[in-house]
Amino acid sequence: MPRVSLDLPRWLKAAAEDLAAREGVSLNQLIALALAEKVGAEGAEAVLAERGRGGAPERAGRWLEGRG
């Protein structure tokens, strides 16, 4: 598996280690999960933006208000 070296401020590393301990995972697992969540969110945003192109905002508003 590829390795990555990170230069983190001491306070951030300490906070991440505390969070990892509370979550019951290693620091490596915590960082990998956080990165995966960010990448996934970026991908979801792109998909939703693409699907929204050419949409009708007024129809969306009516749908959200339950007036279909």
Strand, helix or coil for residue 45: helix
pLDDT digits (tens, 9 = 90+) for 25-50: 999 999 999 999 998 888 878 877 77
pLDDT digits (tens, 9 = 90+) for 2-14: 899 999 999 999 9
pTM for this entry: 0.62
Contact by Cβ (8 Å): 41, 33: no
DSSP per-residue letters across 4-40:
------HHHHHHHHHHHHHHTS-HHHHHHHHHHHHHH
Report residue 68's pLDDT band, with 50, 70 and 90 as the boundaries: low
* Two structure tokens written together for 29: 């697992």
